[in-house]
Structure 1
């Protein structure tokens, strides 16, 4: 049995247990190494209400905040490499109208690098979608809204703003931009894992973005990407093979973060057994990707843990850690 298959066998056990006990409807687990060896497996249900559909290895997932690293970080770093932007320049170098009614405020000093590493004073959450559904007006509102400055925390606002900067530079909205090989901005409902029975959209979300702010903006830099276990592993395999050209995604910005990604810290989602040269990221819908450059392998856990509701303890945090520890048990 190949190494990736034995890793998959070990790591699939906690996923199977979570499905069998009803904590999550279903999931897909995948492992790949830098030589291209990979193994994937699916279990459970892609949807439970109002119909029941089985989970498959080719099921499409709303990747949620994996969008931050699979799309937005990649585009921002590519533009920096091409000298189109300076990572240490403020966002106003691309969006001069950002908070332009007060030229001395702190928001106008926030840089691209600070947003990539979540080293800004923005609040953790902000319900932009409650201010309306006109995407142009919401963009304008966000660029002029005065946020109270607080401690640096993980905030979607960082990547919503990076997404707006990308839209300015590309001259088109995020949803009109190329999502990358194997990815998309929506999915066929017959082939996608369902997410939430949404209170304000009055339907079970299948193949359309779960994130409320991304939905209202009709595309954003922090969420909205769809993919399969194959497309996520293809991305990871490419990173394992070209690690030298992606130095910034491995370069620390803080004790917990690199450019866009998380790095290992006590209690992090990748478990305790990965090497220090591991990066990872999770998505609210129940997704995650971790790449260990020292060991030369990566793994992705894709679940629909918010189906049919987010208001339930799915145990996704200990599940992710258990999967990571099993992958790296050797």
Structure 2
């Protein structure tokens, strides 16, 4: 492997400091160029309780909301490419049973594009898992519930519904679908970064999904994907070199729907997770477990920061927001 660049070493320093300070158990930082050249470095522990395991560059991570951009978004856009769906048509063209007891319900007017860009009235957070553990019944509950409407915010409900679209068209649940090259819906606990010591599942989660709603649904479109730094970087390279999706789909991933929200992704802006020194042609996304991916089309590079910042608990200030920005600025600084 060629020596690490000075900018990459600078970018690794904030992660190193976070681990040394005990704010994050461990992490992996990766950078890839459009030509496929990679730089990867890891540090810390993949698990600290009830046993300790070292982090490696081959550790599998629960990617959390990166599922939205690595799995659900490209598949929805591929359906649009094929003419199977019209992005500006309502979800009811595939999900006719969505609030079907009330023909004029606002939920029945929500479109695929609005869900991709989080431009719907769905609430930001909803503890769906507290309504039971029957995944079939929970899907019906989501489809038939009279949701409280509010201003457009980032909401997992948008991508849960897009996941239902994929399930309905494929006639199988998401966990039965191909997760994509280098990805999976679970991981061997010996190879995975641990997440939370879960109160309601009564165990430390390792190799199984952390997201509560995804767990109860036994797979969903907003979370649940597992991968390594290499699988995430290889996916990003496919966007940079144009081999990972159609030109139309990649253009939509970069095209704002409203404000900084594109089709599935977020576009760079002052104060965002990727730092302030990346180009305006950068898109990115983060995951609750401590993951993130940023793709700078102008610079021809992408970087991912994968951590287990919720291990053993989410109820702790890990400093992940500042860490992500510091890493991005170091990578993109002179």
Offset of residue 4 of structure 1: 6.3
What does residue 305 of structure 1 align with? 309
Match of 2:98, SS? coil
Task: Give 5+ residue unaligned stretches, structure 1.
Answer: none
The one of 276, 279, 287 equivalent to 1:272 is: 276
> Structure 1 stretches (4+) deviating beyond 3 angstroms?
1-4
Q: Deviations over 1:47-90 (max 9, x none)?
A: 00000000000000000000000000010000000000000000
TM-score for the superposition, normalised by structure 2: 0.97
Offset of residue 131 of structure 1: 0.3
Structure 2 Cα separation of the partners of residues 76 and 215 of structure 1 = 22
Question: For the aligned residues, what is the CA RMSD?
Answer: 1.2
The one of 292, 295, 300 equivalent to 2:299 is: 295
Structure 1 Cα separation of the partners of residues 260 and 234 of structure 2 = 25
Q: How does 1:165-314 map to 2 (within 5 A)?
A: 165-242=165-242, 244-245=247-248, 246-314=250-318
What does residue 331 of structure 2 align with? 327
What does residue 48 of structure 2 align with? 48
Structure 2 Cα separation of the partners of residues 3 and 161 of structure 1 = 45
Structure 2 Cα separation of the partners of residues 293 and 118 of structure 1 = 23
Offset of residue 5 of structure 1: 2.7
Structure 1 Cα separation of the partners of residues 202 and 7 of structure 2 = 41
Offset of residue 265 of structure 1: 1.7
Structure 2 Cα separation of the partners of residues 195 and 27 of structure 1 = 12
Residues 17, 294 of structure 1: alpha-carbon distance in 2 compared, 3 angstrom cutoff: same
Structure 1 Cα separation of the partners of residues 7 and 55 of structure 2 = 21
Structure 1 Cα separation of the partners of residues 238 and 91 of structure 2 = 29
Offset of residue 259 of structure 1: 0.3
What does residue 80 of structure 1 align with? 80
**Contact 1:4–1:31 at 8 Å: present in 2 too?**
no
What does residue 133 of structure 1 align with? 133
Q: Deviations over 1:165-219 (max 9, x none)?
A: 1100111100000000000000000000000000000000000000000000000
Match of 1:137, SS? helix
Match of 1:253, SS? strand
Match of 2:99, SS? coil
**Contact 1:122–1:155 at 8 Å: present in 2 too?**
yes
Task: Give 5+ residue unaligned stretches, structure 2.
Answer: none
Offset of residue 3 of structure 1: 9.3
Q: Deviations over 1:226-259 (max 9, x none)?
A: 0000000000111110084511101111111110
Residues 4, 169 of structure 1: alpha-carbon distance in 2 compared, 3 angstrom cutoff: farther
Structure 1 Cα separation of the partners of residues 2 and 115 of structure 2 = 40
Structure 2 Cα separation of the partners of residues 326 and 309 of structure 1 = 28
What does residue 63 of structure 2 align with? 63
- Count residues with an aligned counterpart: 330
Residues 158, 65 of structure 1: alpha-carbon distance in 2 compared, 3 angstrom cutoff: same
Residues 203, 111 of structure 1: alpha-carbon distance in 2 compared, 3 angstrom cutoff: same
Match of 2:153, SS? coil
What does residue 5 of structure 2 align with? 5
